[in-house]
Every structure is written in C-alpha cells, then in structure tokens.
Structure 1
Amino acid sequence: MRKHYLIEVVQNDQLIVFCPPEVIQDKKMKRIAFGSKSMEVEFLPHPDQNDRIVISRKIQEAIQFPPFTIPLHAFLENEILYIGPLVGIFTAGFTSFPQQPIGERTLFFSKLLSVNKSVGALPFVFGEHHIDWEQGTIEGCFFHDHAWQTVEVPFPNVIYDRLPNRKSEGNPKLIKIRERLQKEYLIPWYNPGFFNKLDIYERLQQDASVTHYLPETYPFTSFSSIETMLSKYGHIFIKPKNGSLGLGVHQVIYDKYSDDYYCRFQDKCEVNRLRKYSTLERLFQSVFANQSLDRMLVQQGIHLIRNEQRAVDFRVHTNKDDLGKWHVTAIAAKIAGQGSVTTHARSGGDIKTINEIFPKEECDLFTEKLSNAALLLSTALDTNIEGIIGEIGFDLGIDRNGDVWLFEANSKPGRSIFSHPELKEFDFLTRKLSIAFAVFLTEQSLLHPEELFK
C-alpha cells in the first residue's frame, strides 16, 4: 500500500500547511485541495514530524475538512496538494434514526467505513437528498469513533456505488444524479449497475480466454430447444435473467429410461419441491403457469462435485487494490441443502471453507483452479463491460472431471459467506480493498483522466 500521512488540525488562522520534507522536496506547490474544494496556501516543511500534514482551523473550514485526525494520502498535480481520497458511497434506503441511518444495512456500512485508517482514505455514505448542488457540498454520514455523525463536506474524489437493488438502480432521479456527477463534475463512479446474466454471458463469449468456463446458455425460446439441451445434458437450469439469491431457479431433469421429466424448485413458502411429469408441456403448464418465460434463460446442467452426496459450488470474491490490480480476496464452498436446487443458505445450504470439506491435495488444486478462473474472468469482464469495476463475486462450479464453470457474476456480491468464523479476515480484506481501489482511481483522475473518461 502507498504511504499516507496523519492530517492534523491546529487551532490558528494561518494559511500555512506544514508537510513532511519528503512531500515538499523541491516541488512547487500553491494550493491545497480536499475533494472538490481548494484554496491558496503557503507550504513549509514540518520542523520535527515526518508522519503528518498540519493544517490550520481556518484552512480546515475553508476546504470543509471534517474535524477528525485521520491518515490520508497526498497527491501532487498542477502545483496543488490533494489530500484524500474523499470517497462518497452512494446508496438509498435512509431512515430518520440517527443510530440506524441506513436501516438494517447500517451495520454493513459501519464496518465498511471502519477500514479508513488502514487504507488512508475518508469514506462517507450519502443519498440523493444529501446533495446541495448550489453549494457543491454533501451532508455526509461518517462513522467515526464508533458513532455515526453528519458532516458537510465537498463533492468527493470518487464515488462507490452501493445502491441496494435493481429498483433503486432504475430510478430515473438516481440515474440523473449519477450522470450529472460523472459528466459535469468528472467524478469517477465505480461498480455501477447490477449484472444481467445473459448480457454477461454474451459479452464473455467474445473473449477466447474465458469461453471454456461458460456453460451453454440461451434465452428461453421454445420447448424444442429445451428438449435438445435435455437430451444432450440430462438436466438444465431455468433461471431469471435478472435474478438474485437463487430466487426463481428451476432444475429440469429428463429420465431417458422412464421418459419422465422432473422439476426441482423452491415454492412460495420456501419449501424445496421435486415434481414428476409425463411430458415437458405438462411440467411447464404446472410450474411456470404464472411466469413470463421471456424473462428466463436456459442453462446447461453441470454434474458438480459433491460432499456427502450434496452438490458443492463456490463463491469467489475478487477486488482491485490501490494499484488497480485484481486479487482473489475470498473463496468459500457452498453446499446445497437437502433437495435444494441451489446452494443458497435460504434453501438449507451450508457455508464451509474449502479445507473443511476436501483433503489438502484436492483443496490446493481446487483453490488454484478457482483463483485462476476468477482472475481471468475479472479481467475479461473489466475489458468487455462499460463503467469502472472494482469488485466481483463469482459463483463457480467444478464438475466431476475437475473443470471449472461460471454460473454467475455479481457486481454487488452478497456477504453471507462471511458469517463463517474462519472467513472473518477475508471479510475485512474485501472491505479494505473496495475502498483502497478509490486511492487508485483518485490518482488516475488527477494524472491520467483521459484513461478514466475515454
């Protein structure tokens, strides 16, 4: 990680910034900036402190720096010393309760913001109603000293998109805000948009380095196409193009010996069901009677490796770091519940570490295969999708031949795997890097804006 400095505020009105000599060196500096605010100041080397940048109360008020003593990075460009990054985390679903400002997601955000000291960044949470366009400021929700507090700050250096669902993402008012901050204020905005399964599949099909990870996937068109896939693979999955959490996933199985069809799914009462039908038409009339099939896709069934007769797939998290490089930050095994069509916990699934369920040799082999696949897929998605991606959660499977398959890629991955006690450190790592990536984006926006906004 890059070096960062403690930002200290002293109680005087001098327009002087004291910096470590290594920051000043022979550089010519005229202004200090924080977020979108800057002012002209004098720079002097700090007489006896090499770990901090000291600003006066007057400078603090002018650039709207919060009243916190915190470590931040220092960027120099065009005779301006930028301290930051100031990272705005954009979301929706705010409440009027001071101790629970983002409702049931407050705990997640408090943990996310708590990585600030280890990263050298200052993150805050905000929504559309916190923005003052005339003043160019935001009433940011900060988590500092184990408590929530609201502080007015300038527009941030970068924005991390944490909108909670597709409904908020499709809200015209929120779309307009994102476009305005990106286009008028040139603020890098990362992790925009939930992925569409079919769109992801079609884009990855264009990249020869990852096509071997892709199961056959098509939009639903006709019974005959399903019959063809069933005769080829024995079973298929029918799932919503924009689904999540395993909702609406159906497994259709064809028994060529009895000429019967089976459908495994979870009903509205969250009970796992397995039904038998004599024809495919009867299956669809019964199971999909009230569903719009044009919103569905059909995917090749994979014979997954098993643990105690239960199918296993894997959640693999990847994150970019403060140098813009991809890393695998967490791997967990998800074991299907009894009679479940998916491995989700809500369907009776269990979360385990790989070394809990496989011998060391297999564990090492699977970890390497999953890591290699996730890094290749991350790079491919980064190349083939619009916008700036900083994190991805992959659902990957390994079949009985040891081949890796991609089932889903999530731009805003859930965090249920981190309930496992042995995955706590990876929970911290994923949060840390999701904010550390803002350091890279801030530097890029100052030094190479043409790369970000091309």
Structure 2
Amino acid sequence: MKTFGIMTLNFESEALYIDGIAALSQSCGMECFHFLPSSINPLTQQVQGRRYSAIEQRWFDDEFPIPVLIYDRCFYGDDEHSKQCIPIVSWLKSRNDITFLGFGLPNKLELYGTLTTSRLAPYLPHSQSIKDCSEVVSALTKQKKIIIKPINGSQGYGIYYLKKNDKTIHVKTEKNKKIISRIFPNETKLCQWLQPLINFRPYLLQPYLELSNAASKPFDIRILLQKDEQGVWVERGKGIRIGNTGGILSNLSAGGSVIDFSTWSSSLPPAGKEYICSELNFIITNLPYILEREISPLFEIGIDIGVAKNGALWILDVNSKPGRKVVLQTDPDLKETLFLAPLLYGKYLSQSENKERKSNYEKTLYH
C-alpha cells in the first residue's frame, strides 16, 4: 500500500478537506498521513505526525517514514515557523525517492515574466516590481489609478488601490471584510507611509482595471483545473466571485459571494457570451501546458480571470494551491470528486513510468 502524505503548516488547516481525502484513501490503495515539514527529524528522517485509521475512521498520532507521495498544502506567511519550513520543503522536493503531486509556481513577478513570452501575453496586466515609492508616484502621475500587491501574496492579502486626485491621493484596501480608506494630502506623506511597506516585503505594481459590475462590485471568474486519474487536465468547475460594493477584492476571504457561471453568462448578450466562453476556453486550454513546460509539473491550478467593462479578459492570478469554495458553492455534488482527485492522481504518478518531473523546485514554494 502506497504512503500518501498531506503536508500543511498546522493540523487545523483545511481540516474538512484533509479528513475527506483521508476517509477515501484506503479505497485508492493508499495509507494516509498528515504532517508538518518541521516535524521531520533530520537525523532519523522519521516524522512525528498523524496516521489515518480506515478501520476506526479517525486520526492517530504516530511516527512514520517520510511518505513516498506528498500533497503540499503549505501556505507560508512572514512568521518564524514558515521561514523554518521553507528550506525543509525545498529539500524534500529535491529528493528522487519522494514524489510531489505538484511542484508549485514561482512568485507573481516571475510568473508574469514567464507568461509574457507565451501566447497568453495579451491577457496579462502589465506588472513591474517596486523598489522605491518614487516609482509609484511616477505611475500615478501617468495612470491616475493603480494597484499594488505583494509579489508572494495570496487570498487578496496586502492589495492596495491608489488613485491620484487633483491635490490628494486616495488609498484603499480591504481588511477583515471591511473597506479601509486613507487620503494623503501630498506625495511626501504617501511615501512616508508606503516606503516602509515596500521595504518590508516585495511588491509589484499594475494598472487599475475596471473589473466591477453594474452595481460597482468587483467580480472575477474563478476556474479550478486538476489532473484526473490519467494525468489529463480537466476543468472541475467555475464560478463568479463578487466582492463588496466599492471594494477592490472579490476574494471570499474578503467577504465576497459566489454565483454560478451559467447563471451569470446567461444574462449576457449572445455575442458577448460566445466571445467570453471562447476566450476562456483558449486560456484554459493553453495555460496549464505553458506552466508545466516552462516551470514545473503541477496537479491543480486556480485561475482568476477579470472581465473588463469593454469585454477584455485579464488573467489576474494563477494559484497552484487553490481553494475549492467557489466550485463547491456552485456545485456541492463535486465534494467527493474533489476529495478523490489528489489520491487518484497520486496513484497515477506511482504507476507512471515518467519520473522526469522535477524542475526548478526551489523557485516554486509559494503558490
């Protein structure tokens, strides 16, 4: 029986999802374990973690060898534990006796650099790194409205909207499902606030795209792609995420809501619906293969697509550790399919002759 390990930074993370996978593991010929990277003993290479008992249908604390198959669901922050775990995961990814379901993606700026040389370049908002507040001031002078976001950010954390008025600069963000606004009287005051932020973590700058609906609520399309039991990319589902009125985020963690894609698209004019579906199909068909060819093997990706008021589609984000809330809210019957997917793909990998999967693993920790 193959050993299947689910790796997180704490045992509370995604508990329902991980329990669901574990409950189905035996049916796929897998013995399921749950562990933290920091719980690996570097001398014995034994792990202190949890083993799932299919007979008793619950977890038991246990010590075990590093599983041969690993599903990485680690989400890193700025805390010391994250910093401790990153080099351990990099070491695990470098080992030939361990198979990761997916190797992840690099940061947003490196990903942008890769995709700008592909056929998907027209769908990418221009992105540039920020080293100094003067670059933000220059962009505001030219564009009037911009977005800045952490290069390694996720779930909409740390995203700011900046707008230059005649004399003042308006900055807006969302925290704890609330919109927070600040008005700076001049560029000097803006830089006094912004420069420490840029110094603390790397940020990138993008033009502000008008991606709100008729009710002035930001919205985007979230698509979940995964590989099936034959290693073939399939679309599990897609839905529309809608944010708060006047907000800048559609993320569910920021208080957003979800509607079914079919419901939303049926409200469009026939020509508009056909155009958007055709463009989405082009992106979905090409993106996973470009990422795997240029970066590293993957198991799943979440794609966020913005639809501008002029009908243009924009790739806003690509995440190799996507959530499943949007898909499950629009189609709850998919729950078991999503629980089984990592196990079935892991089984496929363990039986596959293709072992040449490792590439640039050290760059792919974050997403």
TM-score range, shorter chain: 0.7 to 0.9
Aligned equivalents of 1:263 and 1:192: distance in 2? 36
Per the TM alignment, residue 367 of structure 1 is displaced from its structure 2 partner at its CA by 4.3
Q: How much is the aligned-residue C-alpha RMSD, in angstroms?
A: 3.4
Match runs of 1:192-231 below 5 Å: 192=103, 195-206=106-117, 208-223=118-133, 225-230=135-140
Secondary structure of 2:14's partner?
helix
Greater RCO, 1 or 2 (C-alpha within 8 Å, sep 6+): 2
- Decide which of 405, 422, 444 is 2:314's aligned counterpart: 405
Aligned to 1:351: 258
Per the TM alignment, residue 125 of structure 1 is displaced from its structure 2 partner at its CA by 2.0
Residues 394 and 281 (structure 1), Cα distance of their counterparts in 2 relative to 1, 3 Å cut: farther
Aligned to 2:3: 86
- Decide which of 336, 352, 357 is 1:452's aligned counterpart: 357
Per the TM alignment, residue 155 of structure 1 is displaced from its structure 2 partner at its CA by 5.3
Q: Which runs of 4+ in 1 moved over 6 A?
A: 130-133, 135-139, 151-154
1:105 corresponds to which letter in structure 2?
E
* Per-residue deviation, residues 415-436 of structure 1 (Å, max 9, x unmatched): 442562x332344434432332
Residues 112 and 133 (structure 1), Cα distance of their counterparts in 2 relative to 1, 3 Å cut: farther
Pair 1:103-2:12 in alignment: yes
Alpha-carbon contact 1:305-1:312 (below 8 Å) kept: yes
1:261 corresponds to which letter in structure 2?
I
Aligned to 2:91: 179
Q: Given the two structures, how large is their TM-score scaled by the length of structure 2?
A: 0.80
* Per-residue deviation, residues 211-262 of structure 1 (Å, max 9, x unmatched): 112111111144554355445544210111122221211111234xx46432
Residues 282 and 111 (structure 1), Cα distance of their counterparts in 2 relative to 1, 3 Å cut: same
Aligned equivalents of 2:184 and 2:7: distance in 1? 48
Per the TM alignment, residue 88 of structure 1 is displaced from its structure 2 partner at its CA by 2.0
Alpha-carbon contact 1:274-1:339 (below 8 Å) kept: no
The more displaced of 209-218 and 332-341 is 332-341
Alpha-carbon contact 2:105-2:295 (below 8 Å) kept: no
Aligned to 1:315: 222
Match runs of 1:364-383 below 5 Å: 365-383=275-293
Per the TM alignment, residue 272 of structure 1 is displaced from its structure 2 partner at its CA by 1.0
- Decide which of 267, 291, 301 is 2:197's aligned counterpart: 291
Per the TM alignment, residue 182 of structure 1 is displaced from its structure 2 partner at its CA by 4.6
Structure showing greater Rg: 1
1:191 corresponds to which letter in structure 2?
G
Aligned to 2:362: none
Per the TM alignment, residue 107 of structure 1 is displaced from its structure 2 partner at its CA by 2.1
Aligned equivalents of 2:131 and 2:108: distance in 1? 16
Aligned equivalents of 1:114 and 1:352: distance in 2? 29
2:322 corresponds to which letter in structure 1?
P
Aligned to 1:336: 243
Alpha-carbon contact 2:303-2:315 (below 8 Å) kept: yes
- Identity rate of aligned residues, in percent? 21
Aligned equivalents of 1:126 and 1:191: distance in 2? 17
Aligned to 2:188: 281
Residues 143 and 218 (structure 1), Cα distance of their counterparts in 2 relative to 1, 3 Å cut: farther
Pair 1:189-2:100 in alignment: yes
Alpha-carbon contact 1:330-1:430 (below 8 Å) kept: no
Aligned to 1:390: 299
1:390 corresponds to which letter in structure 2?
F
Per the TM alignment, residue 306 of structure 1 is displaced from its structure 2 partner at its CA by 1.0
Per the TM alignment, residue 154 of structure 1 is displaced from its structure 2 partner at its CA by 6.3
* Per-residue deviation, residues 252-307 of structure 1 (Å, max 9, x unmatched): 1234xx4643222236x65313344453333333x526423462111121111514
Pair 1:245-2:158 in alignment: no
Residues 368 and 271 (structure 1), Cα distance of their counterparts in 2 relative to 1, 3 Å cut: same
2:4 corresponds to which letter in structure 1?
V
Aligned equivalents of 1:301 and 1:435: distance in 2? 40
Per the TM alignment, residue 438 of structure 1 is displaced from its structure 2 partner at its CA by 1.2
- Structure 2: runs of 5 or more not aligned: 360-367
Pair 1:148-2:59 in alignment: yes
Q: Given the two structures, how large is their TM-score scaled by the length of structure 1?
A: 0.66
Residues 103 and 309 (structure 1), Cα distance of their counterparts in 2 relative to 1, 3 Å cut: closer
Secondary structure of 1:315's partner?
strand
* Per-residue deviation, residues 370-406 of structure 1 (Å, max 9, x unmatched): 34313422222222224x3211122221112322212
The more displaced of 370-379 and 354-363 is 354-363
Aligned to 1:442: 350
Secondary structure of 2:349's partner?
helix
Per the TM alignment, residue 414 of structure 1 is displaced from its structure 2 partner at its CA by 2.9
Instruction: Give the length in aligned residue pairs.
Output: 351
- Structure 1: runs of 5 or more not aligned: 1-33, 35-84, 94-101
Per the TM alignment, residue 318 of structure 1 is displaced from its structure 2 partner at its CA by 1.4
Aligned to 2:231: 324
Alpha-carbon contact 2:215-2:245 (below 8 Å) kept: no
